[in-house]
Amino acid sequence: MLKKIDWYIIRKLLLTFFSCMFIMTTLAVAIDISEKTDDFVKSGLNSKQIFQEYYIGFIPWIWGLLYPLFVFIAVIFFTSKMALRSEVIAILASGVSYNRWLRPYLMAGLFLAVLLFFAARYVLPKGNAIRSSFQSTFIDRSQGTGSYNHIYRRIDSITYIGMRNYDTASLAAGGFFMEKVRAHRMVYNLRAQRIEWDTSVNKWKLTGVLERHIDSLQESVTNRDVMHLNLNIHPRELKKDEYLKDNLTTPELSRYIINEEERAAEGLNPLKVEMYRRVATPFTVLLLTLIGAVIAGRRSRGGSGLHLAIGIIIAAIFIVSDKFSTTFSVKGDLPPLIAAWIPNIFFSFVALYLYKKAPK
């Protein structure tokens, strides 16, 4: 049963957290506006349109990016104020155990962690889609459309396709081939001088087609001027989308990874790291809540300033370790699941050490 002191700590912690989130978000928006003023002017949009088409997505993106840091700063700031006013000492001196004092912190941290868990799965990706759409259209113009020299994909267990000079604006390529291989032997081969997406039938349209069916020592060749082909691939899947992993909800991201694995696609580690991190980050929130309470609960001569300095150092170490693990997974052989959880595993030992050393 929650007592008055529990409600006091939970209420103050949540109030400090949302105040910190509001202040830091306002600061982030102000800095972003100053950096992108020229891009906003070139876009030709008015202030209302910019807010609706960009900042409605930018603000949730900032929340998702800095959420654990917001929680950490809020815990340290509020708890250090309690310690400075000797409230923590008074609580412990009244007979309340140290573990009992930590309970409302863990409850508030659990609430914030669950909130982030569901937001990261379903809500934040929708905001990221709004932000990235504006970003790619008006800011990163070169990423909005473009052409690629060659695309080579496996679309099912036996079928391989390739496109030459594919253009994401016209949804067309200058050359196309498709091969089917069974038991290490080619059984079908198709060549086309041009391929383009036909929006009227939602199929790929081929021109100048040469089709070969190979059966043992026999071969049949067919020439076609025009041919429609129903490939197991959509034009949007051929576009290099740097924001894809942030725009998909967790169920969509999971399905996309499974489909790409069936096609033997490479470079899926960033997507897998993102999927696992959406589970690991809420645990990070709970972990940083405990670390912040243990650090700031001890009264020191430096007051809140010293606690905040220690907190910033710990946050910096956490961010660096997270970047290192992600880099080793994307560029090396580190499994994505381990890469997403390495910072939490390391700081679990840090939290355990600080807890044991804390004066009780």
| Pair 131, 58 in one domain | yes
147 forms bridges with which residues in the sheet?
A: 167
| Pair 64, 165 in one domain | no
| Pair 213, 271 in one domain | no
pLDDT > 90? residue 311:
no
Based on the number of CB atoms within 10 Å of its own CB, is 240 exposed (0-12), middle (13-18) or buried (19 or more)? exposed
pLDDT, tens digit, for every residue of 224-254?
999 999 887 888 777 766 778 888 999 999 9
| Pair 135, 161 in one domain | no
Residue 80 included in any domain: yes
Average pLDDT over residues 320-349: 87
Confidence label for 286 from pLDDT (cuts 50, 70 and 90): very high
Residue 255 included in any domain: no
User: Distances from the Cα of 258 to the Cαs of 263, 271, 301, in angstroms?
Assistant: 9, 11, 55
Residue at which a domain ends, from 231, 253, 279: 231
Residue 261 included in any domain: no
| Pair 28, 117 in one domain | yes
Comparing C-alpha atoms, which of 296, 290, 289 is closest to residue 310?
296
Residue 143 confidence (pLDDT): 42
pLDDT, tens digit, for every residue of 9-46?
999 999 999 999 999 999 999 999 999 888 888 888 89
Structure tokens at 105: 């912190």
Residue 256 included in any domain: no
| Pair 208, 315 in one domain | no
| Pair 36, 102 in one domain | yes
Comparing C-alpha atoms, which of 359, 291, 307 is closest to residue 77?
307
Residue 150 confidence (pLDDT): 77
Residue 46 included in any domain: yes
pLDDT > 50? residue 103:
yes
pLDDT > 90? residue 329:
no
Residue 262 included in any domain: no
Indicate the range of 176-190, 196-210, 225-239 predicted with least confidence.
Answer: 225-239
| Pair 103, 221 in one domain | no
Q: 10 Å Cβ neighbour count for 297?
A: 26
| Pair 295, 217 in one domain | no
The answer to whether the beta carbons of residues 189 and 212 sit under 8 Å apart is yes
Structure tokens at 291: 């670390």
pLDDT, tens digit, for every residue of 133-158?
888 788 765 444 444 567 888 888 88
* pTM of this structure: 0.79
| Pair 294, 202 in one domain | no
Q: Give how many domains the chain has, as a whole number.
A: 2
Residue 227 confidence (pLDDT): 93
Residue at which a domain ends, from 231, 259, 293: 231
| Pair 56, 203 in one domain | no
Residue 149 included in any domain: no
Containing domain of residue 169, as a range? 157-231
SS3 191: strand
The C-alpha atoms of residue 73 and residue 84 are separated, in whole angstroms, by 16
**DSSP letters spanning 83-124:** HHTTHHHHHHHTT--HHHHHHHHHHHHHHHHHHHHHIIIIIH
pLDDT, tens digit, for every residue of 258-284?
888 877 777 788 899 999 999 999 999
Residue at which a domain ends, from 209, 231, 253: 231
| Pair 91, 182 in one domain | no
Better-scored residue on pLDDT, 9 or 218: 9
CA 129, 132, 138, 142 dihedral sign is: negative
Which residues fall within 8 angstroms of residue 205, CB to CB, at 6 or more apart? 195, 196, 197, 198, 226, 227, 228, 229
Q: 10 Å Cβ neighbour count for 139?
A: 17
Residue 248 included in any domain: no
The C-alpha atoms of residue 303 and residue 314 are separated, in whole angstroms, by 17
Q: What stretches of the chain show up as alpha helix (H) in DSSP? A: 4-43, 47-50, 56-84, 87-93, 98-118, 124-134, 141-144, 235-238, 244-247, 250-262, 269-296, 303-331, 336-357
